[in-house]
């Protein structure tokens, strides 16, 4: 044990991040594991594997690490969280075990966390302050003000139930383990998992368990209508049920997505979303620092063209990079989407036909466009301009534009279903520079617009058409003008990412930010496909570690952590047998 620790310490001394163009210098060795994709999950997996003493290299296609959790300066002087823009879902276990705060992670708590302006001059603020929530909701309905606290408590119970599922790999029972002992251990682990679930179900109680099941399978509109009567409150909450999806508030199962977006926490406080100082790239940077400290190598501009397979044994042997460099390893973890991993990077004819068909037929649809903006002043909302002329509570959290009722959300969805960008888009606006002074010049601000719905393929024209892109952007800016007059004139510059842009720039198949839909038919034992939910794949030595694996999308780190755990289990099993 002491000699292993000494070897690991020596290896750390000579390990560092690898600059672009230097991959060939590391091509001569046999790596214990290679990770395709330097997104936050790939980096997380690398950190855990390196901490266990494995030699690990991360291969990132772009010039910067982070995947969708990245900070980039696309307008001079302004640093944007180009894709993901808020933190809450990152698992506490990952933060603690990788000591991410020591590695530079600094969370900026938002309070209030939500602001919904109304065209009739009213507005709704919500946040972690129970008294604020009660007084704000009571402006619309005293009944809803009383119900809201109970609603939050129930969701918290459900989130506590989910914690165990998020931090565990699925209880898939493999029939292809090499020995009878391995098969029995697998069955024992599955039995332990289900026993724990039953115990938690018993603790939850029959009534709450039925409510939990109802939430999972119901449309968000049904769930929220059962709780509340105020349209603006229901619409504000309903955005969490459709964000990042090509679904309506009336879509069965959208209740789970609602739960998925409230199950996170900031510094131990459930459901609180935060900005990250320096942008979301600081999450990836902190994880990469932990990985580097443990000895992992991180290569940028290292695009994987194909995985290589031994045709005789059907096992992974390494990867070929786009520049012709070949890296050897019998273990590969892919942080790419399931479609890109299996339909594009794995050689043809090495995967079972039914498995590949299931991967290709998975839902990768997206209705999301992200616009990152640099502005010379804060928006002044008509409904509260006289109260807060400068940065006020309305600027701190997520600002909901164009979603004063659930029917407005549904109408926007129906437009996109017909191949038309929403006539009145649903916009979530955030202004991280109000709390984070490191990302914009003094007196100026960074604004993120997360917009729905924009179909991947338009019924007329293409997103490559500059006029179509500019027309849609101006439509979004004009909608904000209705609530904050003069907003459009404050814009210095902007960066727009439609679904095809998200696919091209960040490898998100279909532009789907979750690496695949989060419907009930693609979660837990069904993610990415039935029979292969435990990060292993039909190709021996290849594992999935990205958001396309359990427990799904968002900046969680759970797929990376869980996948690394499975790899280490398999290595231990193979060393015994």
Cβ neighbours, 10 Å, residue 391: 14
The pLDDT of residue 19: 47
Cβ neighbours, 10 Å, residue 85: 25
Distances (CA, A) of 471 to 134, 158, 499, 505, 522: 40, 42, 16, 22, 35
Cα gap 367→433, rounded to integer Å: 26
Cα gap 87→228, rounded to integer Å: 27
Of 452, 98, 406, 105, the residue nearest 255 (C-alpha) = 406
How is residue 248 written in tokens? 């309506």
**Beta strands per DSSP E along 505-547:** 542-544
The pLDDT of residue 523: 93
Phi and psi for 321 in degrees, rounded to 5?
-85, 165
Q: Which residues in 49-74 are b (16+ Cβ under 10 Å) and which e?
A: bbbbbbbbbbbbbbebbbbbbbbbee
The residue extents of the domains of the chain are 2-70+282-362+517-576, 107-270, 364-506
Cα gap 295→572, rounded to integer Å: 20
Element (H or E) spanning 438, and its range? none
Of 332, 335, 327, the residue nearest 23 (C-alpha) = 327
Cα gap 353→194, rounded to integer Å: 31
The pLDDT of residue 180: 64
Contact 256, 70 (CB under 8 A): no
Residues 6 or more apart whose CB falls under 8 angstroms from that of 56 comprise: 31, 32, 33, 34, 35, 46, 49, 50, 291, 295, 296, 297
Q: Considering just the CA atoms, what is the radius of gyration of the chain in Å?
A: 24
The pLDDT of residue 264: 80
The pLDDT of residue 339: 98
pLDDT in single tens digits along all 577 residues of the chain: 333 333 333 333 333 444 444 556 677 789 999 999 999 999 999 999 999 999 999 999 999 999 999 999 999 999 999 999 999 999 999 999 999 999 999 999 999 999 999 999 999 999 999 999 999 999 999 999 999 999 999 998 898 888 888 898 899 877 565 566 666 777 777 888 888 888 888 888 888 899 999 999 999 999 999 999 999 999 999 998 999 899 999 999 898 888 887 888 888 788 789 999 999 999 999 999 999 999 999 999 999 999 999 988 889 999 999 999 999 999 999 999 999 999 999 998 899 999 999 999 999 999 999 999 999 999 999 998 765 567 899 999 999 999 899 999 999 999 999 999 999 999 999 999 999 999 999 999 999 999 999 999 999 999 999 999 999 999 999 999 999 999 999 999 999 999 999 999 999 999 999 999 998 899 999 999 999 999 999 999 999 999 999 999 999 999 999 999 999 999 988 876 5
How is residue 376 written in tokens? 């010379």
520-576 pLDDT per residue, tens? 899 999 999 999 999 999 999 999 999 999 999 999 999 999 999 999 999 988 876
Q: Taking the alpha carbons of 539, 542, 543, 545 in that order, is the dihedral positive or negative?
A: negative
Cα gap 476→424, rounded to integer Å: 8
The pLDDT of residue 8: 37
User: 3-state DSSP call for residue 250?
Assistant: coil
The pLDDT of residue 193: 84
The pTM score is: 0.93
Q: Which fold has domain 2-70+282-362+517-576?
A: FAD/NAD(P)-binding domain (3.50.50)
DSSP letter (8 states) at residue 358: H
139-196 pLDDT per residue, tens? 999 999 999 999 999 998 898 888 888 898 899 877 565 566 666 777 777 888 888 8
Element (H or E) spanning 381, and its range? none
Cβ neighbours, 10 Å, residue 75: 18
DSSP string, 81-96: E-S---BS-S-HHHHH
Residues 6 or more apart whose CB falls under 8 angstroms from that of 375 comprise: 444, 445, 446, 447, 490, 491, 492
Phi and psi for 248 in degrees, rounded to 5?
-100, 165
Contact 374, 78 (CB under 8 A): yes
Cα gap 318→322, rounded to integer Å: 13
């Amino acid at each position: 044990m002491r000699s292993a620790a000494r070897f690991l310490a020596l290896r750390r001394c000579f390990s560092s991040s690898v600059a672009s163009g230097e991959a060939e210098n590391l091509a001569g060795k046999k790596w214990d594991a290679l990770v395709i994709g330097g997104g936050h999950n790939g980096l997380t997996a690398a950190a855990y594997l390196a901490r266990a003493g494995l030699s690990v290299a991360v291969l990132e296609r772009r010039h910067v690490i982070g995947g969708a959790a990245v900070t980039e300066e696309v307008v001079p002087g302004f640093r944007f969280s180009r894709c993901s823009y808020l933190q809450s879902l990152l698992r506490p276990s990952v933060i603690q075990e990788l000591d991410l705060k020591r590695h530079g992670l600094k969370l900026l708590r938002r309070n209030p966390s939500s602001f919904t302006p109304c065209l009739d001059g009213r507005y709704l603020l919500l946040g972690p302050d129970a008294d604020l929530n009660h007084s704000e909701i009571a402006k619309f309905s005293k009944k809803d003000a009383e119900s809201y606290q109970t609603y939050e408590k129930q969701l918290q119970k459900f989130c506590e139930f989910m914690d165990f599922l998020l931090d565990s790999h699925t209880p898939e029972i493999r029939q292809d383990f090499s020995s009878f002992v391995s098969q029995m251990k697998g069955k024992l682990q599955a039995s332990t998992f289900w026993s724990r679930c039953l115990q938690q179900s018993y603790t939850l109680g029959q009534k709450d368990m039925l409510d939990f099941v109802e939430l999972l399978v119901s449309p968000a509109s049904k769930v929220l209508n059962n709780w509340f009567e105020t349209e603006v409150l229901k619409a504000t909450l309903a955005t969490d049920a459709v964000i990042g999806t090509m679904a309506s508030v009336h879509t069965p199962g959208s209740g789970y997505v609602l739960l998925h977006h409230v199950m996170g926490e900031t510094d131990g406080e459930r459901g609180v979303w935060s900005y990250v100082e320096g942008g979301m790239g600081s999450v990836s940077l902190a994880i990469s620092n932990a990985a580097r400290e443990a000895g992992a190598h991180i290569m940028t501009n290292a695009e994987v063209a194909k995985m290589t397979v031994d045709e005789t044994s059907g096992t992974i042997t390494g990867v070929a990079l786009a520049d012709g460099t070949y890296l050897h390893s019998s273990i590969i973890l892919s942080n790419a989407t399931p479609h890109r991993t299996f339909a594009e990077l794995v050689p043809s004819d090495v995967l079972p036909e039914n498995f590949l068909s299931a991967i290709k037929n998975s839902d990768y649809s997206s209705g999301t466009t992200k616009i990152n903006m640099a502005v010379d002043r804060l928006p002044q909302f008509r409904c509260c301009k006289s109260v807060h002329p400068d940065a006020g509570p309305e600027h701190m959290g997520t600002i909901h534009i164009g979603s004063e009722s659930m029917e407005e959300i549904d109408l926007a969805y129906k437009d996109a279903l017909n191949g038309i960008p929403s006539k009145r888009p649903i916009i979530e606006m955030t202004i991280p520079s109000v709390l984070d002074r490191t990302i914009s010049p003094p007196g100026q601000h960074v604004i993120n617009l997360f917009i729905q719905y924009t179909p991947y393929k338009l019924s007329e024209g293409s997103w490559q058409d500059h006029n179509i892109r500019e027309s849609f952007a101006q439509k979004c800016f004009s909608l904000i003008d209705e609530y904050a007059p003069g907003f459009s004139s404050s814009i210095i510059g902007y960066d727009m990412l439609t679904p095809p842009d998200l696919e091209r720039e960040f490898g998100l198949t279909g532009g789907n930010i979750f690496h695949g839909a989060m419907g009930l038919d693609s979660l837990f034992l069904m993610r990415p496909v039935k029979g292969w939910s435990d990060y292993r794949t039909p190709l021996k030595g290849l594992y999935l570690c990205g958001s396309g694996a359990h427990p799904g999308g968002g900046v969680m780190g759970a797929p990376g952590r869980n996948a690394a755990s499975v790899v280490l289990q398999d290595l231990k099993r193979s060393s015994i047998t």
